[in-house]
Amino acid sequence: MNNTTLKKISEMLGLSISTVSRALKDHPDISDKTKQRVTELAQALDYEPNANAINLRTSKNNLFGLIVPSISNFFYDSFITAIEEECRKNNYSMMILQSGDDAAVEQENIKLCRQNRVCGLFACITSQTVNLDAFNKLGNIEVPVVFFDKVPDDSSYNRVCVADALSATIAANAIIEKKKKKVLALFGNKNLSITKKRLLAFDIATDNKIKSLVAYVNNAEEAEQVTSKLLKEKPDTVFCMSDEILTGAMKAIQKEGLKIPADIAVIAISNGFIPKLYFPEITYVETSGYKLGKLAFSSMIACVAGSNFMQELTIESSLVAGGSI
Amino acid sequence: MNNTTLKKISEMLGLSISTVSRALKDHPDISDKTKQRVTELAQALDYEPNANAINLRTSKNNLFGLIVPSISNFFYDSFITAIEEECRKNNYSMMILQSGDDAAVEQENIKLCRQNRVCGLFACITSQTVNLDAFNKLGNIEVPVVFFDKVPDDSSYNRVCVADALSATIAANAIIEKKKKKVLALFGNKNLSITKKRLLAFDIATDNKIKSLVAYVNNAEEAEQVTSKLLKEKPDTVFCMSDEILTGAMKAIQKEGLKIPADIAVIAISNGFIPKLYFPEITYVETSGYKLGKLAFSSMIACVAGSNFMQELTIESSLVAGGSI
DNA sequence: CTGAAAGCGCTAACAC
DNA sequence: GTGTTAGCGCTTTCAG
C-alpha cells in the first residue's frame, strides 16, 4: 500500500503541496508549464486522490447510504439500478447495505452509514422495525432520509411509494370486470403499511361485489401452503399482493394441476419479471422499482438542496395484461 | 451536519482529546470514573466516530470493492450475499459497483475503488475487458484482486470459478442414468468460454449414449422459440445450460401443455432459484454463487494476510433432485 | 504565479 | 491516569 500523495509529487518536483493540488485541479492561477509537469508526473506515478482525506477536509463526501432488506429481489434490484444511474450521473457514490429484514442488522447498518458520514439515506424498513429513533437521529444531524417501498406510517417522514391503494384497486376492478365471484386474496405481513393500504383498497373495491378469502403470508412457502389449503374452497381467482407471494401461489396451482385461466384466474401486483415466467403470462398491475428509484433520487436531491418539506410521493401503476384472467 | 467529535466531548468534560479517545476504547490506563463520564456523554450526544478520519489516520479502512456486471442476477446476487455475510462477520465494509458489462464503466469503478483506498477487490470482468492494466496497478500497490466467475485467461491472477465442465458432465450423466434417449440441449452464446466448456463436457459424456439436438440461444425469448420448434422432434428431455435459458424453455413446455416429467423431462444448470419456482421443481446441477462467494472471501483473506500465491479455485457442483426427471 | 500555515477528526507514541 | 504532540492527505485562506 504505497500510494502516491501530493506531498510525494511536490517533493519530486520541488514545488509546494498546494501548488500541486491546484495544478491537478486545473486552477487558473497555475502556469501551464507547471500544470504540465505536475500532471505528467501524477500520471506516471498513477496518482489517485485519497477520498478519505478529501472527505475529512471538505466534510462532504457525496455518499448516499441505501438500506434494503435484500438485493436479491426484482423490485429492489431495479430500484438500486435507478439510484445507481443517477448517482453516477450526479457524481455521488453509494453504500449498499442489506438488512436481511432483521431490525438489529438494520441498526448496525444505520450506524455504519453514520460513521461513514453519508449525506443521505435511502431506507426500506424491515417488517419488524418499530423504533425509528436511529432514523430520527440522522434527521437531527441534517442527514435526509428518504424511505421507499416499506415506509413508516407516520407522515412526518419523506416517503416514496408505489401507489399501493391504487394498484390494489386496479387489480380488484380487473377481477370484477371479468365477473369473478370468489377470490383468494393473498397479502403480506399485516404489520406493514404496504399491506394495510393494499388490503383496505382491495376490500373497498371488492365490497359487495366479490366474495373474498383473505390470507396473510410472510413468504413464498407460506403462500404455497395457504394456497394449497384454500384452493379447496374453490375460488375462481387468486390475487397476489407481491411477486414473492405469486411464486408460492403459482406452485400450489401447478401442483393442483389447474389450468390458467380456465380453471382459475390469477392476477398480481408485480414488477414484471415473475409474471412473464409463466405461460400464459400472468396479468399484473405494474409497480416499477426503476421508476420508484428515479423518484426517490429526485426527492433526495431536493432534501440535500435544503428542502425541509416532508412529503409522500407516489408512482402510478397500470395494468399489464397477460393471459391469466 | 453537526456531528459530535472527540474534541467537543473533551471540551465539555474538561479532558484532553486523547483521554476521551482512550476512554471510548476502554483503554486500561483510564480510570473507571472517567470512562463512565465519557461514555455517558458520548451516548447522550450520540457520538459516532468519523470513519474517514480513522481511515486516514490508520491508513487501513477494512473496505473491499466488488465489481460485478449487474446485481440483478441470481448468481451474482447470491455471490454478493455470501461476501456480505463474511464482511459483516469479519468487520469489513463493501463497496458494490456495477459495470453494466461496459469496460469504460469498469475503469471508472476501479478508479473509485482506488480513491477510496479499498484493501481488496472482487472483480467479475466484462465480456469486452481485454486490458487488465488497471487491475495490475492495484496489484502493484499491494491491493489484492480476486477475480470470480468471468475471469482473465492468464494464470497469474487469483481466480475463483464454478466447475463448468463438471456441472455439464453431471447433468449428462443424470440424463443417461434415467435411460433417456433423445435430449434437446440448449446452450448459450457459442463464443463464450463458459458455453464451450459446458458443451464439450456434455458432448463427451453423452457421446454414443444419447441422441442430442443442440441449439444455441442468446436469451430467454430465443430459448422459448427454439424449444417450441424443436419440441416437434419429440425429445424426451430438455437440458438447459443456464437459468435464463430454463425460463424460456419452461414457457414453451407450459405452452405446449406437456406434463413434467411424464411427457418430458427437464434438467438445468442453475443457481437454484428459478428451478424451485415450478411444480414439480426442476432438477438441476447446482453452481452456487453463494459458495463461490464464500470461497472468494477466504481467498481474499489469505491475500490480505500476505499470501502471494496466485491460484485458480473451483467450487464443486452437485445434483439437486427436483421432480422433473 | 507560488508557498506557508491551519485544520478536518482521529490515533499513538512520548511525556509527566 | 492524563495531557502534549505529531501527523494521516488534502483544501483553502492569506501572504507575498
Q: What is the pLDDT of residues B263-283, one digit of tens each?
A: 999 999 999 999 999 999 999
pLDDT value for B124:
95
- Report residue B2's pLDDT band, with 50, 70 and 90 as the boundaries: confident
On whether residue A55 sits in a domain, the answer given is: no
Query: In sequence order, which residues have a C-beta less than 8 Å from that of residue B212 and are 6 or more positions away?
Result: B182, B183, B184, B185, B202, B203, B206
State the smallest CA–CA distance between residue B199 and chain A in angstroms: 25
- Same domain flag for A65 and A151: yes
- The answer to whether the beta carbon of residue A62 comes closer than 7 angstroms to any atom of strand C is no
- The answer to whether the beta carbon of residue A14 comes closer than 7 angstroms to any atom of strand C is yes
Q: B78–A72: do the CB atoms touch at under 8 Å?
A: yes
Query: Looking at beta carbons, which residues of chain B come within 8 Å of A71?
Result: 71, 77, 80-81
Is residue B1 over pLDDT 70?
no
Q: Which nucleotide is nearest to B56 (CA to C1')?
A: D8
Q: Which nucleotide is nearest to A22 (CA to C1')?
A: D11
Are A187 and A241 in contact by the 8 Å Cβ rule? The answer is: yes
Q: Identify the bridge partners of residue B238 per DSSP, sorted by sequence position.
A: B184, B266
- Same domain flag for A15 and A127: no
Is residue A141 over pLDDT 70?
yes
Is residue A2 over pLDDT 80?
no
Spatial separation of the C-alpha atoms in residues B114 and A308, rounded to whole Å: 35
Give the mean model confidence (pLDDT) for residues A121-143: 91
pLDDT value for A196:
93
Write out which nucleotides of chain C lie closer than 7 A to a protein Cβ.
1-5, 7-13
pLDDT value for B193:
77
- Same domain flag for A65 and A171: no
Spatial separation of the C-alpha atoms in residues B283 and B170, rounded to whole Å: 12
Spatial separation of the C-alpha atoms in residues A52 and B175, rounded to whole Å: 56
Q: Which residue is nearest to nucleotide D11 (CA to C1')?
A: A57
Q: The whole model's pTM is what?
A: 0.88
For A50, the closest chain B residue by CA position comes to B115
CA of B6 to C1' of C15 (A): 21
pLDDT value for A226:
97
- Report residue A154's pLDDT band, with 50, 70 and 90 as the boundaries: confident
Q: List, for residues A6-56, the tens digit of each pLDDT value.
A: 999 999 999 999 999 999 998 888 988 999 999 999 999 999 999 999 999
Q: List, for residues B45-92, the tens digit of each pLDDT value.
A: 999 999 999 999 998 889 999 999 988 888 898 999 999 999 999 999
Q: Which residue is nearest to nucleotide C3 (CA to C1')?
A: A16
- Same domain flag for A68 and A217: no
pLDDT value for A1:
60
Query: Looking at beta carbons, which residues of chain B come within 8 Å of A59?
Result: 1
- Report residue B306's pLDDT band, with 50, 70 and 90 as the boundaries: confident
> HSE-up of B214 (CA within 13 Å, CB side)?
15
Are A169 and A200 in contact by the 8 Å Cβ rule? The answer is: no
Q: A3–B141: do the CB atoms touch at under 8 Å?
A: yes
On whether residue B43 sits in a domain, the answer given is: yes
pLDDT value for B127:
80
- Same domain flag for B204 and B127: no
Q: Identify the bridge partners of residue B146 per DSSP, sorted by sequence position.
A: B122, B158
- Same domain flag for B65 and B20: no
Q: Which of A8, A52, A271 to mutate to test the interface with B (most CBs of B within 10 A)?
A: A52
All cell numbers assigned to B257:
401443455
Q: List, for residues A115-129, the tens digit of each pLDDT value.
A: 999 999 999 999 889
All cell numbers assigned to B102:
461496459
pLDDT value for B287:
94
As a whole number, the mean pLDDT across chain A is 93
- Same domain flag for B45 and B108: no
Write out which nucleotides of chain D lie closer than 7 A to a protein Cβ.
1-5, 7-13
Spatial separation of the C-alpha atoms in residues A101 and B191, rounded to whole Å: 40
Are A63 and A117 in contact by the 8 Å Cβ rule? The answer is: yes
pLDDT value for B54:
95
Q: List, for residues A64-111, the tens digit of each pLDDT value.
A: 999 999 988 888 989 999 999 999 999 999 999 999 999 999 999 999
Domain boundaries, position B207: 164-286
Are A99 and A126 in contact by the 8 Å Cβ rule? The answer is: yes
- Same domain flag for A294 and A156: yes
Are A70 and A101 in contact by the 8 Å Cβ rule? The answer is: yes
DSSP string, A180-203: --EEEEEE--TTSHHHHHHHHHHH
Query: In sequence order, which residues have a C-beta less than 8 Å from that of residue B120 and are 6 or more positions away?
Result: B64, B65, B143, B144, B145, B146, B300, B303, B304
Q: A93–B112: do the CB atoms touch at under 8 Å?
A: yes
- The answer to whether the beta carbon of residue B27 comes closer than 7 angstroms to any atom of strand C is no
Q: List, for residues A242-265, the tens digit of each pLDDT value.
A: 999 999 999 999 999 999 999 999
On whether residue A325 sits in a domain, the answer given is: no
Give the mean model confidence (pLDDT) for residues B105-115: 95
| Percent of chain A residues topping a pLDDT of 90 | 82
Is residue B117 over pLDDT 70?
yes
Q: List, for residues B201-222, the tens digit of each pLDDT value.
A: 999 999 889 999 999 999 999 9
- Same domain flag for A69 and A120: yes
- Same domain flag for B192 and B302: no
On whether residue B325 sits in a domain, the answer given is: no
Spatial separation of the C-alpha atoms in residues B169 and B175, rounded to whole Å: 10
Question: Between vectors from CA B120 to CA B118 and to CA B126, what angle results, nearest 5°?
Answer: 100
Is residue B142 over pLDDT 90?
no
- The answer to whether the beta carbon of residue B26 comes closer than 7 angstroms to any atom of strand D is no
pLDDT value for A39:
93
On whether residue A324 sits in a domain, the answer given is: no
Count of the separate structural domains present in chain B: 3
Question: Between vectors from CA A98 to CA A312 and to CA A120, what angle results, nearest 5°?
Answer: 45
Give the mean model confidence (pLDDT) for residues A156-182: 95
On whether residue B320 sits in a domain, the answer given is: no
| Ordered alpha helix ranges (H), chain B | 6-13, 17-24, 32-45, 51-58, 74-89, 103-115, 133-140, 164-177, 193-206, 220-230, 243-256, 289-304
- Same domain flag for A156 and A168: no
Query: In sequence order, which residues have a C-beta less than 8 Å from that of residue A278 and are 6 or more positions away?
Result: A250, A260, A324, B251, B254
On whether residue B84 sits in a domain, the answer given is: yes
Of B56, B114, B278, the CB nearest to A48: B114
On whether residue A321 sits in a domain, the answer given is: no
What CATH number is given to the structural domain containing A269? Answer: 3.40.50.2300
Q: Which nucleotide is nearest to B52 (CA to C1')?
A: C9
- Same domain flag for B168 and B280: yes
- The answer to whether the beta carbon of residue A50 comes closer than 7 angstroms to any atom of strand D is yes
Helix/strand/coil for B192: coil
- Report residue A218's pLDDT band, with 50, 70 and 90 as the boundaries: very high
pLDDT value for B237:
97
Q: B77–A74: do the CB atoms touch at under 8 Å?
A: no
Helix/strand/coil for A69: coil
For A259, the closest chain B residue by CA position comes to B257
Evaluate the omega torsion of the peptide bond into residue B261 and state whether it is cis, within 30 degrees of 0.
yes
Sheet holding B120-123, edge to edge: B93-98, B63-68, B120-123, B145-148, B158-162, B312-315
